[in-house]
């Protein structure tokens, strides 16, 4: 049972590390857009949505290969753990 909990913990941490940079980038971008919308009183939905789509897509292009490597590591470890048995 302890091995399974360690495995789940390791996989959760690896997933957080893989997704963390994109999550933080989108969080900061949302905060900046929210402040700008509040300051200019422009509350159009496209003003908040389009920059997030473009920046998110560009970030995925830049860090996507690294994220893919992290997810391959996670899946490989999971399949090795399943193959090893109890």
| Cα separation, 14 vs 8, whole angstroms | 10
Show me where the domains of the chain are located: 2-84
Per DSSP (E only), the strands in 17-57 are none
Residue 44 falls in which region: left (phi positive, over 0), alpha (psi -120 to 50) or beta: beta
Residue 85: predicted pLDDT: 61
Query: Going residue by residue through the chain (86 aa), what tens digit of pLDDT does each one get?
Result: 688 888 888 889 988 988 999 999 999 999 999 898 889 888 887 888 888 999 999 999 999 999 999 889 888 888 888 776 66
Cα–Cα separations (whole angstroms), residue 20 to 2, 51, 56: 26, 19, 13
Q: How many CB atoms lie within 10 A of CB 18?
A: 20
What is this structure's pTM?
0.74
């Amino acid at each position: 049972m302890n091995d399974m909990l360690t495995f789940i913990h390791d996989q959760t941490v690896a997933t957080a590390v893989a997704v963390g940079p994109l999550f933080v980038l989108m969080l900061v971008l949302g905060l900046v857009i929210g402040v700008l919308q509040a300051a200019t009183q422009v509350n159009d939905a496209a003003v908040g949505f389009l920059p997030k789509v473009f920046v998110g897509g560009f970030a995925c292009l830049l860090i996507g290969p690294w994220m893919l490597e992290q997810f391959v590591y996670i899946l490989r470890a999971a399949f090795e753990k399943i193959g090893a048995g109890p």
